[in-house]
Amino acid sequence: MKVLVIGSGGREHAIVQKLKQSKQGLDIFVAPGNGGIASQATCVPIKDDDIEGLLKFAKENAIDYTIVGPEIALTEGVVNAFEAEGLQIFGPTKEAALIEGSKDFAKAFMKKHNIPTADYQTFTEVEAAKAYLEEKGAPIVVKADGLAAGKGVVVATTLEQAIEAVESMLVDNCFGDAGSRVVIEEFLAGKEFSLMAFVHGEKVYPMLPARDHKRAYDHDQGPNTGGMGAFSPVPDLDQAKVDFAVEHILKPTAKGMMEEGRSFTGILYGGLIETPAGPKVIEFNARLGDPETQVVLPLLENELMQVIVDVKNGDDPQLTWKKGYAIGTVVASKGYPGNYLKEVQLPDLPIESDCFIIHAGTKLSTSGSFHSTGGRVLLVGAVEKNPEDAREKVYQYVKAFDQTDDFFYRKDIGSTK
């Protein structure tokens, strides 16, 4: 079976590593991939949002199944385009991916279907938005409606910050069209967790919960990043809360999307927060989370390709999970998430280890060494029976990066915040 994975980050490398465990012997292509992926699969230089290029490649190379990593391809209709040509692809259509592509759509949808989330209002006019901010006061959250590469959310602790965010989106157009509408929502306090599920129409098959660490430095200090590490499952989250989130959030969302004529097949990601009134939705994504995937997939006992085929066909994939903990810390380039060093050769890494290494921003040189290309370079992860052992393994391994100050990593991943 020939499989094409679309994307180039850690999430896609984790998908590839999981697919490689298949007994079927899959022939895996990745567009465009990265250095780590190139050592395990065939990378093809097609950008992840070049829908025509991807379609042409899939047809010319008789790809049997395509798996989509990033949101941009989904919201631009890669699934619609492949399905129109009779090709098998896993992910939601453009219409269903709107749950991630428009925060205004997602909020209105949740309100209509009684899915717990923060109160909000949407604005296109700056004066009306400012008047609302003044009425509500800080803390308050300002979000660009559309996709803004993870930078479109401002959690404002002062009214001035909130006004500045609204002005930069609505007046200065800092996110272009994506910020021509803003959602202003109530600030929720609580512990966050991510709950992803395989979904086919109304059918929802939840994965284990995970938590990512978004701030750059230890103890959740410093700027927001794409994610500096993650762990799964979440020891401080009891099963009742997970069950509540499946019954009152994920299932009604899948059902509601069907009722809206936007039937969802693919991965539904709930970014959730525990509040005194129960879990509420912070955001929905229409794809696997990054870096959550890197720690959730290693705990999945099933063969990923079979799960995808089953879910797509409307069959129960009968998910089973390892009884253990996965933890992963991201090694980032000095300076990230601001301007960061690039093209730095990675140090020699331990060969004898049962950690898993997932590349995000690397390339493979002709001499066989890896060089950094991105802010987040790679993730070092481990699965153990208890979280402390997993942490110890990971932190023993990442010491290899202490030889230079070209890289940094958080030292507190997996400590329950």
Dihedral (C-alpha) 277, 233, 193, 242: value to the nearest 10 degrees? -30
> 3-state DSSP call for residue 3?
strand
292 binds ligand GLY, rule: CB under 6 A: yes
Calculate Rg over the CA atoms of the chain.
Answer: 21
Q: Are 220 and 417 in contact (CB under 8 A)?
A: yes
- Count the site residues for ligand GLY by CB under 6 A: 6
Nearest approach, Cβ of 151 to ligand GLY (angstroms)? 12
Residue 155, binding choice from ligand GLY, ligand AMP, none, Cβ under 5 to 8 Å by partner class: ligand AMP
CB of 69 or CB of 256, closer to ligand GLY? 69
Give the other-Cβ count within 10 Å of 355's Cβ. 19
Residue 192, binding choice from ligand AMP, ligand GLY, none, Cβ under 5 to 8 Å by partner class: ligand AMP
Please report, as residue ranges, which positions from 222 to 251 form the binding site for ligand GLY (by CB under 6 A): 227
Please report, as residue ranges, which positions from 191 to 220 form the binding site for ligand GLY (by CB under 6 A): 212
187 binds ligand AMP, rule: CB under 6 A: yes
What's the one-letter identity of residue 312?
K
Q: Which residue is nearest to ligand GLY (CB)?
A: 289
100 binds ligand AMP, rule: CB under 6 A: no
Residue 392, binding choice from ligand AMP, ligand GLY, none, Cβ under 5 to 8 Å by partner class: none
Q: Which two tokens stand for residue 269?
A: 């990601």
- Which residue in 118, 207, 237, 245 binds ligand AMP (CB under 6 A)? 118
69 binds ligand GLY, rule: CB under 6 A: no
CB of 18 or CB of 130, closer to ligand GLY? 18
Rounded distance between C-alpha atoms, residue 242 and residue 244, angstroms: 5
- Which residue in 12, 185, 290, 310 binds ligand GLY (CB under 6 A)? 290
Please report, as residue ranges, which positions from 309 to 328 form the binding site for ligand AMP (by CB under 6 A): none
- Which residue in 170, 216, 282, 308 binds ligand AMP (CB under 6 A)? 282
- Which residue in 150, 222, 278, 324 binds ligand AMP (CB under 6 A)? 150
Please report, as residue ranges, which positions from 201 to 260 form the binding site for ligand AMP (by CB under 6 A): 214
Give the other-Cβ count within 10 Å of 159's Cβ. 16
Where do we find the tokens 């060093």?
A: 341
Rounded distance between C-alpha atoms, residue 196 and residue 356, angstroms: 22
Written as one string, the DSSP assignment of 268-330 is EEEEEEEETTEEEEEEEESS--TTHHHHHGGGB-S-HHHHHHHHHHT------B-SSEEEEEE
CB of 63 or CB of 295, closer to ligand GLY? 295
283 binds ligand AMP, rule: CB under 6 A: yes
Residue 322 sits at φ, ψ, to 5 deg, of -65, 145
- Count the site residues for ligand AMP by CB under 6 A: 14
Q: Are 287 and 267 in contact (CB under 8 A)?
A: yes
Q: Nearest-CA neighbor of 358 among 342, 370, 345?
A: 370
Rounded distance between C-alpha atoms, residue 195 and residue 241, angstroms: 11
Rounded distance between C-alpha atoms, residue 74 and residue 60, angstroms: 21
- Which residue in 126, 153, 174, 400 binds ligand AMP (CB under 6 A)? 153
141 binds ligand AMP, rule: CB under 6 A: yes
Q: Which two tokens stand for residue 113?
A: 């279907």
- How many helices and strands (H and E) does the chain possess? 14, 23
Contact set with ligand AMP (CB under 6 A): 118, 141, 150, 153, 155, 185-188, 192, 214, 271, 282-283
Contact set with ligand GLY (CB under 6 A): 212, 227, 285, 289-290, 292
